[in-house]
Amino acid sequence: MAITFDEGRRIFTLTTRNTTYQMMADSFGYLLHLYYGAKTAGFTDWGLTFADRGFSGSPYELGRDRTYSLDALPQEFPVQGTGDYRSPMLIVRDSEDTYGADLRYSGHEITEGKYSLPGLPAVYANPGEEAQTLTVTLSNNRLGLSVKLLYGVIPGKDIITRSVIVRNNGSKPFTAEKLYSSCLDFTHGDFDLITFHGRHTLERQYQRQRLNHGSYSVGSRRGMSSHQYSPFVILADHDATETHGRCWGMNFVYSGGFCAEAELDQYGQTRVIMGLSREKFSYGLEPGEEIAGPEVIMTFSSEGLGKLTHSFHACIRENICRGKFRDSPRPVVLNTWEALYFNFDGRKILDAAESAKALGVDMLVLDDGWFTNRNNDAQALGDWSADEGKLGCTLGELVSRVKAIGLDFGIWVEPEMISEDSRLYREHRDWAMIIPGEKPVLGRNQLVLDLSRMDVREYIIQSMRGILNEGVTYLKWDYNRSIAELYSHSGSNGKLAYKYILGLYEILERITSEYPGVLIEGCAGGGGRFDAGMLYYTPQIWCSDNTDALDRLTIHYGTSFGFPMSAVAAHVSTCPNHQTGRITPLKARYTVSMTGAFGYELDPLKLTDDERREISGQIRQYKLDREIITEGLYYRLSNPESDNYCAWEYVSHDGSKALISVVIPQNHGNMPVIYITPRGLTHGAFYRDIESGKIYPADALMDSGFPVDMPKSDYESFTFRLERM
């Protein structure tokens, strides 16, 4: 059994292949956290300590006994108003503007299978895969407040998920002013917090810092998970490495505003919590109403960051991503954006398609500028009808002509946005999020549609149907601004940020259900909404608007800690690069871009004959390597912050093959030799380098590594394919 309950001690134990998670409903009814770590037998309540803590409040029923305080005890769901002055997961304001709610254990249920959440994406169990759900109910009689803590266990993947449902069972309304979904409390430890910061065109940059006294948080106030911070954090022992030490990960299955907080308190205890952004959130619950907190995926590794990464990759690839393209090969695409921008017509598109077909490309993706009056980024968003004058035909006819060439057809859309200069805005100004009496904030010359409204959602779905019914089999779903104002003509603005995301999920669920053969690639100005919530609907995401090979090295490095490389859309683009002006060899651009979902972002008509031959070879080779890239175990073999090279590896699950990539950004005089040390090979086996024919003993390779050739110029790149003998 993955979940057990000891009646005498009232201890819950959640067990996976390599981990144990324990908590206890104590004699006062408080749910205390006991343990989350390496798999163990027995009970761990001996780890709790009790003492008289100055200025730390105690429950009333203890009277003069001051040795028990929630301010100094590890908890599963800390709430404001119980004498715990650390950051809580729930803050409730009642109808009298009173804050505070004392929650006590009132029951539990253990069920087979993995829970789901109303209107929200969540981890699912595959047929035949063991999974269980624990629901623990906490209650407050004064408010009629019921909190259901949901724990899902996927034992084979070392995954435990957490979520929460807050319900008003009383007779008066109250408001949730803060709602987080997951908490990890540690009574001691010397930890680092790993987060992933960034900006537009440089997302998910690895950052590791020691936790000192105080509180540290990352999050997004932008209405999306954001370019600035990833909704994914790691707590690690200070000395943890890729292959050694304890580490815990939290991955938020949500695409809107979030916050993750880490606090080292007065007693040297550490708390890490994650959930909905408190800003722009004030969720009123009338009697009978409830709200579900988005899910957090958790995993623990006692074998370093690499093992943690493998658990997250497997879970997201196999238990978050869905549909036809979860397991089937993704097409190699040619996207027209950096090749043509808005400057194209139907003839140019067909010429590009013919040239792309000759290279071995599978799909042409027509980016922005294809619909009526869309000649720049200041107009026509929301008017999703093809510009037949520009295309020289209907959209359906263009799709048919491209398919006759032998390519599938994809198209760019930005359904959540509206231009002031559009027919839709002139007819439905109230659909845009604009505060009455205020001039709206513009981002990329556009406004945001109110997805909390059913009529807006129906319009978007109908518009996408009109496109997909023309034979389009791929949507690049973009989102090119943050949400500044929150106003809806339908009211409930404290709920709007949350309901916007639920509206987005409803749209995507209906489209993916109705068109199961369509591949949707998520995008938000590149990687501004790269999160597990979007991956539930879009199995790949445009990783960054920055296609520069050098910058992509660190973007991919940071992304790899929490997300599978099959989700990373990366394209070879032209040089000089359009974002940085940097010139890098075509080989290096390919080595970096073949990381995951692969394609090109250039004008094939402007290629030289040598470039055409090289690209044709790249595509043929990628298709041979595609399976191990999208399904293999991924290893980081370098740290861009400290090493003068970047190396990574894919290993097939049976260990029979390995694919190793190396990029050396800078060449220097008389450089030391670089040795690459693979991991994940079969102990005791021998491997042959397919290109050179050299034979290596696996154990020696994983101990001492092998040398790469001395670079002759900047951006030298190498690829090694090893095969077990």
Does the reported pTM lie above 0.75? Answer: yes
Strand partners, 117: 120
Flag whether 105 is in a domain: yes
Which of 293, 319, 345 terminates a domain? The answer is 319
Q: Note whether 236 and 349 are same-domain residues.
A: no
> What pLDDT, on the 0 to 100 scale, is given for residue 422?
97
Tell me, yes or no, whether 632 lies in a domain. no
Per the domain annotation, does 421 fall within a domain? no
User: Residue 646 — φ and ψ, nearest 5°?
Assistant: -130, 125
Do 611 and 697 fall into the same domain?
Answer: no
Q: Are 287 and 360 part of one and the same domain? A: no
Domain termination residue (choose one: 627, 659, 683): 627
Cβ burial of 401 (10 Å; 0-12, 13-18, 19+) is middle
Token couple for 465:
């149907």
Distance CA 600, CA 569 (A): 10
pLDDT of residue 249: 98
Q: Enumerate the active-site residues.
A: 531, 611
Q: Verify that 557 and 697 share a domain, yes or no.
A: no
Q: Give the position of tokens 């042959």.
A: 688
Query: Do 336 and 302 belong together in one domain?
Result: no
CA 446 to each of CA 347, 356, 416, 701: distance values in angstroms, whole numbers, following the listed order? 29, 33, 10, 54
User: 42: alpha, beta or left, given left = phi > 0 and alpha = psi -120 to 50?
Assistant: left
> φ and ψ at 400, to 5 degrees?
-60, -40
- The pLDDT score that the predictor gives to residue 225 is 98
pLDDT in tens, 544-589: 999 999 999 999 999 999 999 999 999 999 999 999 999 999 999 9
Give the pair of three-digit tokens for residue 187: 């009574």
Residues 274 and 385 in one domain: no
Residue carrying the six token digits 């001039």: 439
Pair 350, 314 in one domain: no
CATH code of the domain containing 376: 3.20.20.70
In a shared domain, residues 704 and 570: no
Is 408 part of any domain? yes
CA–CA dist 224, 481 (Å, integer): 9
Task: Give the CATH number of the domain where residue 705 resides.
Answer: 2.60.40.1180
Mean pLDDT calculated for residue range 519-531: 97
Q: How many domains does the chain have?
A: 3
- Rounded to whole angstroms, the Cα distance separating 720 from 708 reads 10
Question: 362: pLDDT confidence band, cut at 50, 70 and 90?
Answer: very high
Domain-embedded: residue 495: no
Listed residues 595, 627, 659: the one ending a domain: 627
Are 66 and 187 in the same domain?
yes
3-state secondary structure of 212: coil
Q: How sure is the predictor about 641, in pLDDT bands with cuts at 50, 70 and 90?
A: confident
| Domain annotation covers residue 476 | yes
Residue 66 covered by a domain: yes
Asked if residue 400 and residue 549 are part of one domain, the reply reads yes
What CATH number did the domain enclosing 28 receive? 2.70.98.60
Tell me, yes or no, whether 661 and 603 share the same domain.
no
Residue 1 reports pLDDT greater than 90 = no
By the 10 Å C-beta count (0-12 exposed, 13-18 middle, 19+ buried), 641 is classed as exposed
422, part of any domain: no
Nearest CA to 723 among 683, 681, 684? 681
Query: In percent, how much of the chain has pLDDT > 70?
Result: 100
Q: Are residues 684 and 608 in the same domain?
A: no
Domain carrying residue 572: 332-415+451-482+512-627
pLDDT tens per residue, range 124-150: 999 999 999 999 999 999 999 999 999
- Taking residues 372-381, report their average pLDDT: 96
